């Protein structure tokens, strides 16, 4: 989602929900809730019920508190990975349980006539264009509060423009750096759903703990994660304090000693040349690739010669399968979904470690 708020971004879609049940916030009584943020504190009206998240991770956390967003943010890559819906499976599951139906995107690329469902009228929306067009669509949605704890490109200028539309609950330091639990608690406070947020956190942590308990073989196993390639260099995981690193640590794995020596960029990734691929050898490796084929790794002779590759201690995850997003951008509803789906493959890879 780092392209969404940048000038010259590609495509952004909002898939809006048709309400047929589910929880809603109480009407405003004039009081406000204050939450901190890097660019300024947000004064949010108590009972704000038109909630607009600016990243899929934010949408997850809003949904986890029992509130349906007025729109689900998406981009071109997400649309491709979700067969054009822009809705990840864990989001659809949670919304269905809340009594909401997710409408398909409008192929015309604009706001259609409003669809009446009971006493609520919510448009189906799909838009693309420049940053100004994006802002105009946000204005058209008339949010009471904007949620952007996971929005990569929220900068001070865009914050200034968006805060004129609605108060913004956003990150204190940087998007996707703060623990997902902290972001969920902040969103819960902003929406007056602190108890619901805490319960969602506890349930997610319990679900991950159950996976770990079911797989004691994960304890102490060292791993590396190849996140992708870029112009002859590799993105690898070089820290356990964010994204998939947090999940692997919670499951009992330990990042390899060598990966910890690779300098980490602002997004928590290390960048290494293909000449250093041999240093990735450890107990098991997780490799993210466009379609799960890891062809960009198989062409490297060092890769094929590593013992972990030769014995098959590799977990290949297709980027369009949802699991990388579920674990790389963790939330109370994505973590249980993703950890369950990767557990068996991890167990097979570990079983081949001598």
Output the pLDDT for position 247: 92
For residue 316, give the nearest of 339, 283, 349, 274 by alpha carbon: 349
Q: List the structure tokens of 191.
A: 């929406």
Share of the chain above pLDDT 90, in %: 49
Range of the domain at 151: 11-197
Here the contacts of 253-261 (C-beta below 8 Å, separation 24 or greater) are: 253/218, 253/221, 253/222, 253/223, 253/284, 253/346, 254/220, 254/221, 254/222, 254/223, 255/222, 255/223, 255/224, 256/222, 256/223, 256/224, 256/280, 256/282, 257/222, 258/224, 258/282, 259/224
pLDDT class of 11 with cuts at 50, 70, 90: very low
What would the pLDDT profile of 115-163 be if each residue is shown by its tens digit? 322 333 333 333 444 566 677 778 888 899 999 998 878 889 889 989 9
| Residue 59, helix vs strand vs coil | helix
Output the pLDDT for position 215: 98
Instruction: Count how many Cα atoms sit within 13 Å of the Cα of residue 207 in the half-sphere of its side chain.
Output: 20
Q: Is residue 235 situated within a structural domain?
A: yes
Q: List the structure tokens of 310.
A: 């030769």
The CATH number for 75's domain is: 3.40.50.1980
Whether residue 287 is found in the same domain as residue 241: yes
Q: What is the mean pLDDT of residues 207-225?
A: 97
3-state helix, strand, coil in the chain (%, to 5): 40, 20, 40
- Which position has the higher pLDDT, 21 or 224? 224
Output the pLDDT for position 350: 98
Q: Is residue 2 situated within a structural domain?
A: no
Q: Is residue 203 situated within a structural domain?
A: no
Q: What is the mean pLDDT of residues 320-344?
A: 93
Whether residue 185 is found in the same domain as residue 48: yes
Kindly tell me if the per-residue pLDDT of 270 is higher than 80.
yes
- Which position has the higher pLDDT, 241 or 59? 59
Whether residue 123 is found in the same domain as residue 52: yes
Whether residue 214 is found in the same domain as residue 191: no
Output the pLDDT for position 126: 39
Q: Is residue 77 situated within a structural domain?
A: yes
Whether residue 55 is found in the same domain as residue 130: yes
Across the chain, which distance is largest between two alpha carbons, in Å?
A: 66
Whether residue 259 is found in the same domain as residue 341: yes
Whether residue 71 is found in the same domain as residue 181: yes
Whether residue 193 is found in the same domain as residue 245: no
Residue 128 burial (CB < 10 Å; 0-12/13-18/19+)?
middle
What would the pLDDT profile of 225-241 be if each residue is shown by its tens digit? 998 877 777 899 998 88
Determine contact, residues 147/62, Cβ cutoff 8 Å: yes
Q: What is the mean pLDDT of residues 300-312?
A: 92
Determine contact, residues 306/278, Cβ cutoff 8 Å: yes
Kindly tell me if the per-residue pLDDT of 351 is higher than 50.
yes
Handedness of CA 6, 7, 11, 16 (dihedral sign): positive
Whether residue 130 is found in the same domain as residue 168: yes
Q: Is residue 78 situated within a structural domain?
A: yes
Whether residue 76 is found in the same domain as residue 171: yes
Strand partners, 42: 35
**DSSP string of 199-225, one letter each residue:** HHHHHHHHHHHHHHHH-GGGTT-EEEE
Output the pLDDT for position 231: 72
Output the pLDDT for position 6: 31
Last residue of a domain, one of 197, 221, 251: 197
Count how many domains the chain has.
2
Q: What is the mean pLDDT of residues 21-37?
A: 65
Output the pLDDT for position 15: 46
Whether residue 240 is found in the same domain as residue 343: yes
Output the pLDDT for position 137: 77
Q: What is the mean pLDDT of residues 338-347?
A: 96
Instruction: Count how many Cα atoms sit within 13 Å of the Cα of residue 5 in the half-sphere of its side chain.
Output: 20
Q: Is residue 4 situated within a structural domain?
A: no
Phi, psi of 215 (to 5 degrees): -130, 70
- Which position has the higher pLDDT, 207 or 76? 207
pLDDT class of 5 with cuts at 50, 70, 90: very low
| Mean pLDDT across the chain | 82
Distance CA 164, CA 65 (A): 25
Kindly tell me if the per-residue pLDDT of 24 is higher than 70.
no
Last residue of a domain, one of 197, 230, 261: 197
Output the pLDDT for position 241: 82
Triad 32, 33, 36: Cα angle to 5°: 135
Q: Is residue 113 situated within a structural domain?
A: yes
Kindly tell me if the per-residue pLDDT of 44 is higher than 60.
yes
- Give 44's contacts (C-beta < 8 A, 6+ positions apart): 32, 33, 34, 35, 144, 145, 167, 169, 190, 191
Kindly tell me if the per-residue pLDDT of 7 is higher than 50.
no
**DSSP string of 106-155, one letter each residue:** -TTSS----EEETTEEE--EEEES-HHHHHHHHHHH--SEEEETT-TT--
Output the pLDDT for position 184: 97
């Amino acid at each position: 989602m780092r392209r969404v708020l940048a000038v010259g971004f590609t495509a952004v879609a909002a898939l809006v929900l048709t309400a047929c049940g589910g929880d809603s916030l109480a009407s405003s009584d004039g009081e406000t809730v204050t939450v901190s943020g890097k660019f300024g504190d947000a004064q949010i009206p108590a009972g704000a019920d038109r909630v607009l998240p600016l990243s899929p991770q934010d949408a997850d956390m809003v949904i986890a508190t029992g509130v349906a967003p007025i729109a689900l943010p998406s981009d071109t890559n997400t649309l491709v990975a979700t067969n054009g819906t822009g809705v990840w499976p864990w989001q659809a599951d949670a919304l269905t349980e809340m009594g909401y139906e997710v409408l398909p995107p409008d192929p015309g690329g604009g706001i259609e006539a409003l669809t009446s469902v009971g006493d609520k009228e919510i448009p189906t929306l799909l838009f693309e264009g420049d940053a100004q067009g994006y802002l105009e669509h946000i204005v058209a949605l008339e949010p009471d509060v904007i949620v952007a704890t996971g929005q990569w490109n929220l900068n001070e200028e865009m914050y200034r423009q968006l805060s004129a539309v609605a108060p913004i609950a956003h990150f204190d330091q940087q998007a996707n750096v703060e623990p997902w639990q902290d972001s969920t608690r902040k969103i819960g406070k902003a929406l007056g759903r602190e108890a619901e947020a805490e319960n969602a956190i506890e349930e997610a942590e319990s679900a991950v703990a159950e996976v770990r308990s079911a797989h004691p073989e994960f304890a102490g196993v060292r791993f590396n994660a190849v996140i992708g390639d870029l112009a002859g260099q590799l993105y690898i995981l070089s820290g356990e304090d964010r994204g998939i690193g947090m999940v692997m640590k919670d499951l009992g794995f330990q990042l390899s000693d060598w990966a910890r020596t690779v300098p980490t960029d602002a997004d928590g990734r290390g960048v290494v040349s293909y000449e250093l691929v041999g240093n990735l050898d450890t107990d098991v490796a997780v490799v993210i690739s466009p379609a799960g084929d890891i062809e960009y790794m198989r062409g490297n002779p060092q890769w094929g010669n590593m013992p972990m590759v030769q014995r098959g201690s590799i977990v290949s995850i297709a980027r369009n399968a949802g699991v990388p997003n579920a674990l790389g951008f963790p939330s109370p509803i994505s973590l249980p979904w993703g950890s369950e789906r990767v557990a068996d493959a991890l167990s097979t890879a570990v079983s081949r470690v001598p």
